[in-house]
Amino acid sequence: MANIYWNKEKVSKEEVFAELMKKMPYVTDNAFTVRFDDGAAICVSERDQDSDESPFKEGHYDIIPPQVLGWRVLKIMVPKGYIDVFYHDPQ
């Protein structure tokens, strides 16, 4: 039965990327990006290395639910500086 929830028509990567990048400033005050892997959109936010607190604000599931425009959405936090090193766009 769980597959029914995830089995919906997906929009293009460009469309869901634009939508999530528009919403991310409302759920985190830290550096962020959106990437894709295995059919999921991954919202990445940096956190302070000395803190165990989530970089995502309370109520973030209301703004970015687990499924957006047909895409499964995962939210992960990484230590400060990881986005520049591991999630940058090579030119």
What are phi and psi for residue 17, nearest 5 degrees?
A: -60, -50
36 lies in a domain? Answer: yes
- H/E run at residue 62: helix 60-63
pLDDT tens figures, 1-48: 556 666 778 899 999 999 999 999 999 999 999 999 888 999 999 998
91 lies in a domain? Answer: no
* Range of the structural domain that residue 10 is part of: 2-86
pLDDT for the residue 42: 95
pTM above 0.95, yes or no: no
pLDDT tens figures, 48-85: 888 788 899 998 889 999 999 999 999 999 999 999 88
pLDDT for the residue 2: 57
> For 59-68, b where at least 16 C-beta lie within 10 A, e where not — what string?
ebeeebeeeb
Structure tokens, 49? 């290395």
Number of domains the chain contains:
1
For the residues of 11-39, what is the DSSP string, one character each? --HHHHHHHHHHHHHHHBSS-EEEEEETT
41 lies in a domain? Answer: yes
71 lies in a domain? Answer: yes
70 lies in a domain? Answer: yes
